Amino acid sequence: MTEKNIVNKNSEILFLYDAKMCNPNGDMDDENKPRMDKETDINLVSDVRLKRYVRDYLKIFEGKPIYVDDDALDGKTKLKQMKKDGVKEDDLIDIRLFGAVLPKENKKKSDKKESEKKESEDNTDEERGITGPIQFTWGYSLNKTEMLESKTITSKWSGQGGIGKDFRIKYSLLAFSGFVNSKTAQSNKEKGLTIEDLHLFEKALLRSIPLMSTRSKYGQYPRFYLRVELKDDKKSLKDLREYVFIKKRENISSIDEVELGLSKLVDYLKESKDLIEKIFWWADDKLNITGELKDVGLPMETLKMW
């Protein structure tokens, strides 16, 4: 990995996907109901849920080793197991993308005094945090979301069974804002975020959600992606969700009823033209869009989902 491959420009991200007749992100503290702002009927999804899709895709479909997995292993056990399999910390792409909290590295015993050795043995739970260059806010729906009446479900496996509730929403068009921090990417020249990592992340983000469907998650699909690459590592833009809107905000049941307005976003990008290097974007052909991104008058690249 050479230094020139490390991401050296900031980017702003806008990502939209929808959810129909499913549970986008259950709240374990509230009977696993879809997360909602009950005062406004806005559906919420955590950034952790979004990153989980990306991690699972990279592991299953790209064969990449990941650190934050669902195997319930503690950090030290995980790293020891990976070391036995010949996997180095530098190989863990999800750390390069999103960062992680890892066990603290112990110095060689020969470099320590006896008192320090004892202290190190006593502090086995010490951790070190790695900040990832790609971060997202929580996502929220652009429309008011209707919660469907819960259904009682039963399950049975290995002679055991259970009864629970099945909570779903009618339809939600979810919007996420993200940021690629080039300073963080460049902080470690040997294992920082590369251009190739960034492109693989975009591939995973666009493909992962429908491919990683479960019973409660089936019915979700990416609809729009925009990455605005800035000219250097000292610039940023406002949350791009503030500049998109949908004409109809209530009683929506499918993508066919959505009209996404980009005119305000186009105007904002025009105003910020001097800060922008290039725009990368993708839109699902079922999404009805008003406002032309090409009117911004900047270099653009259309991404492919497949």
Query: Is residue 224 helix, strand or coil?
Result: strand
pLDDT score of 143: 98
pLDDT score of 3: 54
Percent of the chain at pLDDT exceeding 70: 86
Backbone angles phi, psi at 83, to 5 degrees: -60, -40
What is the pLDDT averaged over residues 239-264?
97
CA nearest neighbour of 12 among 295, 259, 235, 162: 235
What is the pLDDT averaged over residues 17-42?
95
E strands, 231-303, where? 245-246, 259-261, 276-283, 288-290, 300-302
Confidence of residue 230 (pLDDT cuts 50, 70, 90): very high
pLDDT for 105 beyond 80: no
What is the pLDDT averaged over residues 255-271?
98
Which of the pair, 151 or 207, is modelled with greater confidence? 207
What is the pLDDT averaged over residues 222-244?
96
The encoded tokens of residue 176 equal: 């996420």
What is the pLDDT averaged over residues 269-284?
97
Torsion of CA 20, 26, 32, 35, to 10 degrees: -90
Confidence of residue 70 (pLDDT cuts 50, 70, 90): confident
> Would you give the DSSP letter of residue 42?
E
pLDDT score of 155: 53
Whole-structure pTM value: 0.89
The encoded tokens of residue 130 equal: 């790695």
pLDDT score of 121: 45
pLDDT score of 76: 87
pLDDT score of 213: 87
Confidence of residue 163 (pLDDT cuts 50, 70, 90): low
pLDDT score of 122: 45
What is the pLDDT averaged over residues 227-241?
95
Cα separation, 260 vs 254, in Å, equals 13
CB atoms within 10 A of CB 124: 10
- 168-193: pLDDT as tens digits: 999 999 999 999 999 999 887 667 89
Average predicted confidence (pLDDT) for the chain: 89
